[in-house]
Amino acid sequence: MRFQASILALLASFAAADVAAPTPAPVPSSQGSIPETTPVPVPHKVGKRQEGLEQPEAYGDLEFIARLISAPLQADRVFLLRDEDFIFDFQNPPGDLNVETGDSGRIVVANRKTMPALIGTGSGMSVGFLGPCGFNTPHTHPRGTELNIPVVGNLNTSLILEDGSRVINNYIKTLQMHVFPQGAIHLEFNPDCTNAIFVAGFNNEDFGTSHIANNFFRLSDEVVAAAVDGNIVIDGRDIEQFRNRIPKSVAIGVEECLRKCNLL
């Protein structure tokens, strides 16, 4: 019973408070201006080739992405892409594909679907914008190892590699790096009353994300009940009611932080 209560307490901690945090402020620009530079000349035949092509918007275009994947050489992909396809704006992404928004921030993902110029590079990236007490709930990346660097603010992190492994807890300061091995359960939490931003690099252009609580409660009631060795009743709520309390990926917590930041 004590083990069951621990599981239920862990799952209950995933539920977000009903208080929204302020939208994270944009990262302030550096002081001073960057001196203008002379553009690098483009070879004439490359310009001719690009002018002659009808180049579609690459973002999320599955037919165009399939053409890029089937191109025999990376040089062939370059001819299909526009110059601007090699840039991805995390602060203002071109759409809402793979943008996870919650009560206290958002995670913006650059992968082979949202930035097709990544195809063939074996790399991807996400940027997390967390408000005060923002909590990127426990999740895994099934196809990629994550290198996470907070560039604004600090993070508390937890990591579990596999069954039998100890829990690894850390406090990461600005511009320190944390590694989350492929498939490991982990989380990021902003313990401060100011906004935090982290940059996460991956060794796969399709690293994927699976949020533990959200996906666990997508299973049937019988499976969920059996997994915790009995019926689930938490704070008077049955399985269905509790399932509806699971937050989006970027939740707001933990209670101590909420009280400190006057967000309760």
Q: What is the DSSP letter of 234?
A: B
Q: What is the three-class DSSP state of 147?
A: strand
Please give the sequence-ordered ranges of beta strands (E in DSSP) within the chain, or none if there are none: 99-102, 105-110, 124-130, 134-140, 146-152, 155-160, 168-172, 178-180, 185-189, 196-202, 210-211, 250-252
Alpha-carbon separation of residue 11 from 23, 60, 226, 228, 264 (angstroms): 26, 34, 15, 11, 21
Side-chain half-sphere of 168: how many Cα atoms within 13 Å?
Answer: 14
Q: What is the three-class DSSP state of 65?
A: helix
pLDDT number for residue 28: 45
Per-residue pLDDT band at 235 (split at 50, 70, 90): low
- In this predicted structure, the answer to whether residue 135 has a pLDDT above a threshold of 80 is yes
What pTM does this model have? 0.73
Q: What is the DSSP letter of 15?
A: S
- Compute the distance between CA of residue 18 and CA of residue 65 in angstroms, rounded to an integer: 40
DSSP character string of 239-256: HHHHHTT---SEEE--HH
Quick: pLDDT tens for 37-91.
Answer: 555 444 433 333 344 444 456 788 899 999 999 999 999 999 999 999 999 999 9
Reported as type and span, the H/E element at residue 223 is helix 221-227
Q: Which fold has domain 2-22+55-260?
A: Jelly Rolls (2.60.120)
Structure tokens at 72: 């025999």
pLDDT number for residue 51: 44
Residue 22 near residue 261, CB atoms below 8 Å: no
Lowest-pLDDT choice from 53-57, 141-145, 240-244, 251-255: 53-57
- 104-131 burial, b at 16+ Cβ within 10 Å, e below that, comes to bbbbbbbbbbbbbbbbeeebbbbbbbbb
- Compute the distance between CA of residue 202 and CA of residue 140 in angstroms, rounded to an integer: 12
Angle at 153 between CA 148 and CA 133, to 5 degrees: 95
Quick: pLDDT tens for 179-211.
Answer: 999 999 999 999 999 999 999 999 999 999 999
- Compute the distance between CA of residue 210 and CA of residue 52 in angstroms, rounded to an integer: 42
Per-residue pLDDT band at 20 (split at 50, 70, 90): very low
Q: Residue length, the chain?
A: 264
